[in-house]
A and B are shown apart, each in its own frame.
Chain A
């Protein structure tokens, strides 16, 4: 059993949102509050022009111990052999327990404006929960997830921890809030 993980190089990221926009494009997520991948920026306290900038691009961390999986009474969330955590939206009844459970805020539901395909015949509810599924269909086709393939700065990658360490050297796990996130970062000094 392998476990895939996201990798993020903070020294390369320009916070351009190519990852987030291409993700929405690939996954048919329209403009609006649901976004699988989020880009954010923090500033250091140094005075201009020494001010440091810390960008972050993160999606679902496909945790070792995914709180969302155990939280769902309908077993709508499962983990693939490659460790990718996937929501089966056809099973979701929008109890939102997964949203509460996820310590990273990776899961969301759309509103009527963003998701205009209501009551699709296989859905039990309008706007079932959704999140990043690491573009597993692309992984299965031998491609990188959309965000990774999109990044103009090559700041994102996906692989097993062992491969990522061998490739990028000093990387560290994203802050563990109890679920062992599979997200490794090359931090900016």
Chain B
């Protein structure tokens, strides 16, 4: 190992100093044997903390963490921050019940710079020209802002509310204004008051709004959770239970960097240091992967798993399938083998089950050859011969795309009449998966054996579900955990660690899972679109969506909220027209968004894919008539807003938040600068201008309803009503001072699905069958109930059928292909790669058929990637992978100089930082181009060599049909060959002049926002966000 220091010639050149200086130097203080008596009056030296008032609050980002941050205030100014300096009682020091400091990460340690940056928004601004024109913003008064926004809201409501819209399903009449939309946003990490719900409240007092479902983070987790396990997502035991595991698998989990809940990386580290082996399944060598992974070698089991198993991005479902194929082949030796019996007890539809009924005695059959294990074995007869399944796989070799058949702007959907392979007739052997994933077959077998034979926790991150086939990976990995008996006991679980059990509280005084602030987080007011477009006649089990059944929460998707937030542009452009860019009936039959409140977020332009298209849709004021943003800086979303309102940051306002077992209070420590107001006061200002402020926050105590107008009073009222001294052991005033309440060492460990594991009959899950569902009829019926036609009549099933309520046994369509199947499967990304793409011995596919080349006797049935979007022919040969980088979350710290100096570079590749004297007008105006600062991207050394990248890197263009970005490319051995890594969240800054790259004309985004080239096609089943890893680009040196 080479230690990095700047080596200087030791003691060479001790400079002679002037006599005068030496004299001064001896003036005082050099007594005490030259040891000390330090003068501490230097203004740049910290000396003492004397005179500093400490405010303990929250590092409130929407990164997954809600850590502790303490402001040191002197003279009304935050002088510096510290984090949590309460006692740090850790597992690694022997505390079985730890009470860990909730240390903030580097992002929140930079917040002084954030508070006092010169480019903060300081005054309300109004766009007076076209949206997107930085020169059109004019300073206005708050009074004008409130009145104009209120007038527009009321006018649009008066015009549109109660009107009748004719949809293909019939006329819809609303009482509220269905064009009102509050946008998904994550810039404010508070629980209450939080920017996004505040904007919702504003619309709801006006009678209702058009509410979205899901988010940009974990849509496919939610989908898989609802239909496979009957709750909001797969989730692991308390993180502190990791020390009870015999193996930890980090699957697409980079909690060291994205901070997936406070301390999550630290807890994995402790488990490792206590002796639990760790293996990462990760598409690159992420911080978590390279730091925490030990690998797993076990001579008794005869397995040797390397520290990092790295499948090609987007092939996780193939890897998991091959692991399960190996286990089934090895251990499902007969219909009565313990492996089979266990699975049948707990997992519905892993094996064929043609006579099954659900808990409500409805038909819940898994036809012969339609189970997941049948898919695993393809045309192989093994499981039929063993008496386990009724038939080999009914699944065909290819799948189509449920896309629009009409053109938009004269263009058809590029996936129309295209297919990708799903290898329905191919055995999913480790050798097959090796061709696709690049993971050696022996490693696949060894990892499978280890996961099955050792108590394993599989921690799942979010990255592998952020693509157009994102549902498949998480469904497959969840299934892997269930069939390997990794649930319901200590040390063994599978799923996400962000679902409210990660902190480990289960004591009676557990403040995290009950209490007033949980209620404050949700907005309960009306969603005027609820149920209107949901066709319950498609469902076999309608009891499962009844609001009165606790089990209904599992299948609520699609009826409580009306459209997936990822499709909001579609709802602006085509809502209610009977058409949808992504062929979504929910959009085509839903309202058109006319008002967009974007409080505390940057998803209008920056954090949404296909930036150019988003900007084009937002620009036309005849579609969305009002866009209002609250923010701290003039980012790209503000640029396309009609009103930009300057919002207060943490420590300039009061709020509460809660995470896991902790409840936190964040106090107002300093005054916000200039005319900046909190989102709460901004919202109340608009409400007051409408004359509705008395209806915003009405709290009933002791039978008396009272209107509240002050955020801290609301927090106190909720505290006093729900918790108070009895539960928390402290008054509200003490809570404010403490800033945090936890059970300390009283926190226990939650074991997920423990009762179900003990007795599946008496403690069923909230799924129709009461079990984990490898085969979910409810999922495909839900797809149909949301209006989608699931029948692909161009494809025949193979010797069997798949049954739904609409397509019953023996019906013509039951034997036909589907766009969405009831089981997880491997479906290639639309802009993906296979490891074998350069292997001439593996057949290539034609995406207009995509099954002709599949031959189980050639290359183990594997094929090259189908490339249905034709990216290779267009010259977009590299995959761009967007990851949650250390220094931003999500885009809100993009200009912070204390952070940018750690990753941004100038055009020579040298360390640089965002200028400290920027002003707000610089942010999106032409002046920004003066700054020589670029976003870095990283390529594997072999790819860097292939594009002739100089040793120190170079400025490059990354481009495709959607746009082009100018970034600084560097070689980096941590990157998977064939990939380019880019951090999410850099701010879009388009160059004024156009540039021609490979014959195409672009306005290049020199801010280096990955979303300028990422696509916005939603995921196949739940229409989830697909920004992170479904994008191919060309690369060209500038």
Contacts and interface: CB of A to CB of B under 8 A. Distances in A.
A78 B38 contact: yes
B87 to A, nearest CB: 12
Given A113-B916, A137-B49, A42 B2 contact: yes
Given A71-B14, A93-B17, A79 B901 contact: no
B810 interface: no
A133 B38 CA distance: 11
Given A16-B257, A27-B45, A113-B916, A151 B103 contact: yes
Given A16-B105, A40-B4, A88-B29, A73 B16 contact: yes
A86 B620 CA distance: 62
A102 B5 CA distance: 11
A188 B80 contact: no
Given A31-B916, A81-B35, A178-B10, A17 B15 contact: no
Contact of A16 (B106, B263, B974): B106
Given A21-B898, A31-B901, A73-B25, A51 B1 contact: no
B976 A48 contact: yes
A152 B105 contact: yes
Contacts of A171: none
A124 B313 CA distance: 58
Contacts of B82: 22, 26, 146, 149
B30 A80 contact: no
Given A12-B269, A117-B44, A175-B3, A25 B285 contact: no
7 closest cross-chain pairs (CB), A and B:
A74-B25, A105-B6, A73-B17, A31-B897, A97-B15, A49-B310, A18-B106
15 contacts: A25-B110, A27-B46, A28-B80, A31-B897, A38-B4, A48-B940, A49-B285, A88-B39, A93-B21, A101-B14, A103-B10, A105-B6, A150-B103, A154-B266, A177-B10
Contacts of A28: 44-46, 79-80
Given A24-B898, A71-B14, A16 B287 contact: yes
B886 interface: yes
A27 B45 CA distance: 6
Contacts of B930: none
Contact of B899 (A15, A21, A42, A117): A21
Contact of A14 (B34, B112, B287, B976): B287
Interface string B247-281: 00000000011000001011001000100000000
Contacts of B265: 14, 152-153
A137 B44 contact: no
Given A49-B310, A97-B14, 6 more contacts: A12-B273, A25-B112, A28-B46, A51-B974, A53-B290, A81-B36
Given A16-B105, A18-B106, A18-B109, A56 B11 contact: no
Contacts of A40: 4
Interface string A89-118: 111010111011111110000000101010
Chain A interface size, under 10 / 10 to 19 / 20 to 34 / 35 or more: 35 or more
Nearest to B43: A120
Interface string A111-131: 001010100101110000010
A75 to B, nearest CB: 5
A74 B977 contact: no
Contacts of B940: 48
A53 B291 contact: yes
A95 B8 contact: no
Interface of A: 11-18, 20-22, 24-32, 38, 40, 42-43, 48-56, 58, 67, 69-76, 78-81, 86, 88-91, 93, 95-97, 99-105, 113, 115, 117, 120, 122-124, 130, 133, 135-137, 141, 143, 146, 149-154, 174-175, 177-179, 187-188
Nearest to A50: B306
Interface in B280-307: 284-285, 287-291, 306-307
A30 B284 CA distance: 33
B973 interface: yes
A104 B913 contact: no
B380 interface: no
B266 A153 contact: yes
Given A78-B35, A149-B82, A188-B1, A135 B46 contact: yes
B8 A74 contact: no
Given A27-B45, A75-B25, A103-B10, A14 B916 contact: no
Nearest to A100: B13
A28 to B, nearest CB: 5
B411 interface: no
B246 to A, nearest CB: 20
A72 to B, nearest CB: 8
Given A53-B290, A53-B974, A174 B38 contact: no
B48 A43 contact: no
A74 B104 CA distance: 40
Interface of B: 1-18, 21-22, 24-26, 29-30, 34-49, 79-83, 85, 88, 90, 92, 103-106, 109-110, 112-113, 256-257, 263, 265-266, 269, 273, 284-285, 287-291, 306-310, 886-887, 897-902, 913-914, 916, 940, 973-977
A152 B15 contact: no
Contacts of B916: 30-31, 113
Nearest to B81: A25
B544 to A, nearest CB: 42
B390 to A, nearest CB: 41
Contacts of B105: 16, 18, 152
B478 to A, nearest CB: 24
Contact of B44 (A11, A49, A102, A130): A130
Contacts of B39: 88, 90
Contacts of A91: 24-25
Nearest to A42: B2
B45 A105 contact: no
Contacts of A12: 269, 273, 291
A167 to B, nearest CB: 9
A71 B289 CA distance: 44
A27 B85 CA distance: 18
Given A31-B916, A135-B46, A124 B24 contact: yes
Nearest to B259: A152
Nearest to B42: A89
B213 to A, nearest CB: 33
Contact of A13 (B92, B110, B291, B887): B291
A88 B15 contact: no
Contacts of A120: 42-44
Nearest to B311: A49
Given A74-B21, A149-B82, A100 B15 contact: yes
A137 B34 contact: no
A78 B10 contact: no
B22 A74 contact: yes
A78 B25 contact: no
Nearest to A167: B93
Contacts of B899: 21
A25 B265 CA distance: 23
A74 B287 contact: no
B114 to A, nearest CB: 11
A98 to B, nearest CB: 9
B30 A150 contact: no
Contact of A80 (B36, B103, B900, B975): B36
A120 to B, nearest CB: 5
Contacts of A18: 103-106, 109
B44 A115 contact: yes
Most chain B beta-carbon contacts within 10 A, residue among A54, A71, A91, A97: A91
Nearest to B113: A31
Given A30-B916, A78-B38, A79-B35, A152 B13 contact: no
B17 A42 contact: no
B12 A100 contact: yes
A37 B269 CA distance: 23
Contact of B901 (A32, A71, A123): A32
Given A88-B38, A137-B47, A21 B18 contact: no
Contacts of A151: 103
